Amino acid sequence: MKKIIKIKGLDCAACASELSEELEKLDGISHAAADFINQRVSLTYESAEAFERAVDVISHFEEVEIVDGNAPEKREGHLKEILSIAISAVFFVTGLCLTLFYHSEERWAFALRVSFWLVAFLAAGWEVALNAGKNAIRAFRDGFHPSVFLDENLLMLIAAVGAIAIGEYMEAAAVVLLYQIGELLQSLAVGSSRGAIRRLMELRSDSAIRLTVDGQEEAEPEELEEGDILLIRRGDKVPVDCVVTEGESALDTKAITGESYFKEIRVGDEILAGCVNEGNAFKARVLRPYAESAVVKILELVENSSSSKARPERFITKFARIYTPVVVLAAVVLAVVPPLFQGYNFALWVGRALNFLVISCPCALIISVPLTYFSGVGALARVGVLTKGAVYLDKLASVKVVAFDKTGTLTEGRFSVTAVTGGERTLQYAAAAEKSSSHPLAQAFRDIATPFTAQGVEEIAGMGLSCEICGTHVLVGSARLMREHGIAISEETTDMVSVFVAENGELLGKVEISDALRANAGEALLSLKKQGVKKLAVLTGDSMERAESTLKGLPIDEIHARLLPDEKPEAAEKLRQEGTLLYVGDGINDTPVMAASDVSAAMGALGSDAAIEASDFVLSGDDLSSLARAVGAAKRTRRIVTENIVFSITVKVVLMVLSVFGFIPLWAAVLGDVGVMLLAVLNSMRMRLRIK
């Protein structure tokens, strides 16, 4: 069983890692992912007892509180932190001014300066000491957990107290003051990203106006049922996926598609939840309940996106668990061993060890790497590309081969009957059979009236339908279906799809159906080539002649035609041998090949629920051009992550070496640590920029 628990008070990546580690050690918890950015915990548990134990651990972890999912989410405030920093800064600056401009060596002057330093230390350091104490208690609960004990709060507290012990009062105050400033700036940066996701969550409509025989009534989106008639006024958000039944208007679809343009709608057009009516009021019929609507799929994807971590994130988490105890041990050795050979000058080497300890804090890596991936996920969401996790964003960056389904992906997927051979009965038999089918072609027959009812409809994979109509055996499907049943046909090459109809082994006629190529398909595929994709392929069940005719003019490298659903994964496996494979599809039949690909994307607006569930990315606006932007954003995300890792480690190693040889004071060590962290965070925030 899976559950997402909303929380508050989880303010750093290291804390999130510790909480996840504690939860996964519980019996009955197979997976736990604490997300400090979205403020939630994703749990996979085996029993109610295991879930209760997990809830107990979460509620007793530092300042974390579990939030009622129905309660309104409060904006973050930093008054307490700002007040502590302000008080500390006032006393620190006062003490610094006394030191610089009043050089009296009298005892009272020295005591006054020390008093200012100590007040500055206490104002900024009380919370550091409190957190370090709480972690020390937790670290010895149910055994010893070094990663909980040796966190950044303890490192900073040791450095500050050590500085006081050797008489460096100003540096002790500087350590905690600079550290708290860095923590505040980090929190503000993360809060900014949280705000971006909050704005996305505002896609949800709070209410809807339902029309009944008694007039109008206000209803919650969750209360709406398929077939309900809604009145959508100017300025209203569309609460669920609907089809327009009366009136014309214009919708702002930016929240769903990421594109700033209005979509003109009229009777018969399907509209997605989350769009905003910017034109006249209109009436619409509910197509799907709220739980199955586009907006819910979007929100679920965004909410769950942080539970799947990319390889660099997992590396940093494991690295920090080993790295922190090692550097603490190294600092102890540095403080104790060299003085034994240099006249027992412990004060000198303790100071250098404190510098070493402060600089070694891995905050820059722990915060910047997940923040970069989170920013990348958010940036993609703004252009209508939703991902199920950072791990898939990382895979997308290495894509070399892209394979497409044809119908509903490269084409519009909106079929219509264009010609009938064999009379009205041919069309009506086809309509009666296809009304029971979930195949995309069946959409062409949805609005065709027929007096017949098909009984015992059996779907023959990749070929068509078999059924009983008025006591006769009827076949409706492809030329291949006809030939396999010994029915002679004359198949001519055409740009349209031919659906043949046979009754009791005799051909009645055929229905021709057309489907237009997407307007921006060519431009979208060329953009993928510019992003470094080496090969573009199409996997289709259609004939080679019809596929080539339909896709004429597109920069396709390979077409694999006449594929049955079970043959598509085999074709995908061959393409995978040429590089990381991205598969893009929209239908139920695409789910096996999606599972067989390295990474997959589904067309969100027209795509089936099964395809969306099986895919790693969803194109919420069915816009192929967003694919290239997604690949570019994935590569940019990986590049920024690599920059942060290399920059942080390189600078820290240099500063650690300098601290060993005494070239930098303690305050400079703290400033260097905070500076590296802030630069890494600011670099990660570049993913928040508009994706081109």
365 domain-assigned: no
Q: 107 and 126 in one domain?
A: yes
- Kindly give, in sequence order, each residue whose CB lies less than 8 Å from that of residue 147, ignoring residues fewer than 6 positions away: 17, 18, 21, 320, 321, 324, 325
206 domain-assigned: no
Q: Which pairing describes strands 262-265 and 242-246: parallel, antiparallel, or unpaired?
A: unpaired
211 domain-assigned: no
Q: Tell me the average pLDDT across 632-652.
A: 87
- For the chain, what is the mean pLDDT? 80
Residue 404 has pLDDT above 50, yes or no: yes
pLDDT in tens, 154-174: 777 777 787 787 777 887 787
- What is the percent of the chain with per-residue pLDDT over 70, rounded to a whole number? 80
Confidence at 72, pLDDT banded by 50, 70, 90 = very low
Q: Which CATH number characterizes residue 241's domain?
A: 2.70.150.10
Q: 174 and 309 in one domain?
A: yes
643 domain-assigned: no
The residue that leads in pLDDT, 107 or 246, is: 246
Q: 583 and 563 in one domain?
A: yes
Q: Which amino acid is at 115?
A: S
Residue 148 has pLDDT above 80, yes or no: no
371 domain-assigned: no
Q: 529 and 510 in one domain?
A: no
Radius of gyration of the chain (CA): 32
Q: Which of 71, 101, 119 is the last residue of a domain?
A: 71
Q: Which CATH number characterizes residue 625's domain?
A: 3.40.50.1000
Residue 40 has pLDDT above 70, yes or no: yes
Query: 57: domain range?
Result: 2-71
Q: Which CATH number characterizes residue 18's domain?
A: 3.30.70.100
DSSP alpha helix (H) spans, 102-218: 107-139, 146-149, 152-165, 169-201
pLDDT in tens, 42-57: 888 888 888 888 888 8
Instruction: Determine the pLDDT at residue 649.
Output: 83
Residue 525 has pLDDT above 90, yes or no: yes
pLDDT in tens, 323-356: 777 877 888 888 888 888 887 788 788 878 877 8
Q: 352 and 309 in one domain?
A: yes
Residue 491 has pLDDT above 70, yes or no: no
Q: Which of the given ranges, 103-112, 215-224, 383-392, has the highest pLDDT on average?
A: 215-224
Residue 276 has pLDDT above 70, yes or no: yes
Q: Which of 491, 514, 537 is the last residue of a domain?
A: 514
Assess contact for 283 and 243: CB atoms under 8 A.
Answer: no
Least confident of 3-17, 88-102, 270-284, 436-450: 3-17
Q: Give the count of domains, the chain.
A: 5
Residue 569 has pLDDT above 50, yes or no: yes
Q: Which CATH number characterizes residue 508's domain?
A: 3.40.1110.10
Q: 532 and 508 in one domain?
A: no
204 domain-assigned: no
The residue that leads in pLDDT, 122 or 497, is: 122
Residue 527 has pLDDT above 70, yes or no: yes
Q: Tell me the average pLDDT across 604-628.
A: 71
Instruction: Give which of 372, 375, 368, 380 is closest to 638, Cα–Cα.
Output: 372
Instruction: Determine the pLDDT at residue 495.
Output: 61
Q: 483 and 531 in one domain?
A: no
Residue 309 has pLDDT above 70, yes or no: no
Instruction: Tell me how far apart the alpha carbons of residues 605 and 464 are, in angstroms, rounded to a whole number.
Output: 25
496 domain-assigned: yes
Active-site hit among 35, 228, 241, 405: 405
Instruction: Determine the pLDDT at residue 321.
Output: 65
Instruction: Determine the pLDDT at residue 425.
Output: 92
Instruction: Determine the pLDDT at residue 15.
Output: 72
- What is the percent of the chain with per-residue pLDDT over 90, rounded to a whole number? 19
Q: Is 405 a catalytic residue?
A: yes
The residue that leads in pLDDT, 263 or 53, is: 53
Q: 524 and 510 in one domain?
A: no
Q: 507 and 407 in one domain?
A: no
Residue 307 has pLDDT above 60, yes or no: no
Residue written as tokens 């979208």? Answer: 524
540 domain-assigned: yes
Instruction: Determine the pLDDT at residue 282.
Output: 94
Confidence at 187, pLDDT banded by 50, 70, 90 = low
Q: 403 and 456 in one domain?
A: no
Instruction: Determine the pLDDT at residue 71.
Output: 42
Assess contact for 630 and 622: CB atoms under 8 A.
Answer: no
Q: 91 and 26 in one domain?
A: no
CA distance readout (Å), 478 to 30, 174, 460, 502, 510: 47, 78, 10, 11, 10
Q: 392 and 344 in one domain?
A: no
Helix (H) or strand (E) holding 217: strand 215-219
Assess contact for 430 and 474: CB atoms under 8 A.
Answer: no
